[in-house]
Structure 1
Amino acid sequence: MGRRSAGVLLYRVRGEELEVLLVHPGGPFWKNKDEGAWSIPKGEYEEGDDPRAAAIREVQEETGLALSDEDLVELGTVRQKSGKVVIAWAAEGDFDVSRLTSNEFEMQWPPRSGRTQLFPEVDRAEWFAPETARRKLVPAQAEFLDRLSSHLTR
């Protein structure tokens, strides 16, 4: 089976307005990319792992936010252009983006320099209205916005 990720689309309602939390990938490749580069907090999991538990773990690793699995609503899966399958859940909550803490990864930078540097897996998080989030998200993940909307209007 191909690569799989699990994540959570965190949402809140401010006044009458729905907002969703998205994260921007860290590292030099993503530094100047914006539209089509953001994601729900998510990460890969291995065969045999519980994807729901992986989603909760990845949210904490990428943002510092500890979630309970009690109020998660499954949003299903999407297949990204890369072939990666992403499964997501929705959860209502709040998160102060100024408190973002992300795990780090190491890579050779600059390329072929022989030097390695640490970069945050996520360099920022922001709350967006769904229309803006749709432009910011990796295209396949925009489907999660539609599924969240359907869930909230039931």
Structure 2
Amino acid sequence: MKRFLPALILLFGVTICNGQSISKKDSLLIMKALNNVFKNFKNPDFVEFQKISTKVIYCIICEDSKNSKLGIYDLKRNDFFNKHLKAIKNSESWKRASKSKEIILYKQNSRRADVIAFLTTWKANEYALGHEGAQLGIYFIKENGVFKFSGLETIP
């Protein structure tokens, strides 16, 4: 996994959306952060997770995040790690994202993300005839020059 995603960026490139460019330096930093997220999900380590993530994690797929006191879909880092990380890393969507050959970086500039990395999990018609396909969005916020994991969602 450590060399997998950077190899993808070299082989397939990264698509930039939203009419804004992301510098090559930031693209590489995001790929490094993405590698760190996959590595930590594979072998969960809370001390390391604290280093690579923000204090609040946006999680649209986490059941109890809809009624969060922090804001809709927002969870404290330790709650996300202890209650949701294992189920997410074992999900088919996460497994497919870790093998995705398509990464789209979307410049967001919101309180939840500066950049979202969308990884294709299902191509159109792959899951079922007529299915539009799906992506996993992994959110990153840049803090002190480092991109940190700040959330995730699935599309659609």
TM over 0.5: no
Query: Which one has the bigger strand percentage?
Result: 1
Query: Which one has the bigger helix percentage?
Result: 2
Higher relative contact order (CA 8 A, sep 6+): 1
**Normalized against structure 2, the TM-score is what?**
0.26
